Amino acid sequence: MATVLITGANRGIGLEMARQYAAAGDEVIAAVRKPDEAKALKEIDGKVRIEQMDLGDFDSIASLKQRLGDAPIDIAIMNAGWVGGGKQGVDDFDIEEWHRTLDINTIGPLLLARALKPNLEASGDGKLMNVSSQLAASTWPMGGMLIYSTTKAAMNKVTQILAIDWKDAPITVAVMHPGWVKTDMGGPNAQLTPEESASGIRNVIAAMTKADSGKFYKWNGEIHPW
């Protein structure tokens, strides 16, 4: 049995990953902004521990770490994210929203990863997966989505730096494009169901070894060009 921490576990891909890991007999630590509203999480059969944490609130990250202590965590999945509002063109964007989104999509995941390092090390084979997007890749030829794309691109670079700086630690760090998924963010016309995306992400994580640290994956196991 593994201990799996998932941020943004109250809906979409995060919720489905919580369901699948719990169904497999793993212990799930579901980190959400509003535990009182996490009705679907509370209905999951299995061992699910719901914890309050908001990646945009750095004090809440420190509080979560204090509650967790240095107990082993085998897998940490940074799934929570923020789209960045409706104004995302070069000639029309919201600077305050950009700052907020940077906190949630980039700085918060780094602070949480840093806080969880002892927990992942205690596992002996810790795995940290940052959920990003193909929109963050310089190889993806698409304009617009300025705030979301740049903050996720920064997260990708954070992942690469963590992989390099933690090369001597028993932790594998990678980044994931989960696909275009039928969630609140992806919309009803997306290509994948949350079940398909979550299952693919779990398979990739299970197969990763230390030699894979720093890679950018697609949900189906393919490597995404950066």
Q: Which of 24, 18, 156, 135 is nearest to 77 (CA)?
A: 18
Residue 148, pLDDT score: 94
Q: Is the per-residue pLDDT at 88 higher than 90? A: no
Residue 149, pLDDT score: 94
Mean pLDDT of 69-86: 94
Q: What are phi and psi of 96, to 5 degrees?
A: -65, -40
Tokens of 200: 């693919």
Residue 170, pLDDT score: 98
Would you place residue 5 in the very low, low, confident or very high pLDDT band (cuts 50, 70, 90)?
Answer: very high
Fold of 3-218: Rossmann fold (3.40.50)
Q: Note whether 29 and 49 are within 8 A (CB).
A: yes
Q: What are phi and psi of 40, to 5 degrees?
A: -65, -35
**44: helix, strand or coil:** coil
State the pTM of this model: 0.94
Mean pLDDT score across all residues of the chain: 93
Domain boundaries, the chain: 3-218
**CB-CB neighbours of 131 under 10 Å:** 25
Q: Note whether 104 and 56 are within 8 A (CB).
A: yes
Least confident segment among 118-122, 130-134, 160-164, 191-195: 191-195
- Over residues 123-157, the pLDDT tens digits come to 999 999 999 998 888 887 777 788 999 999 999 99
Would you place residue 57 in the very low, low, confident or very high pLDDT band (cuts 50, 70, 90)?
Answer: very high
Q: Which of 217, 131, 142 is nearest to 225 (CA)?
A: 217
Residues 6+ apart with CB under 8 A from 92: none
Q: Which of 67, 47, 64 is nearest to 55 (CA)?
A: 64
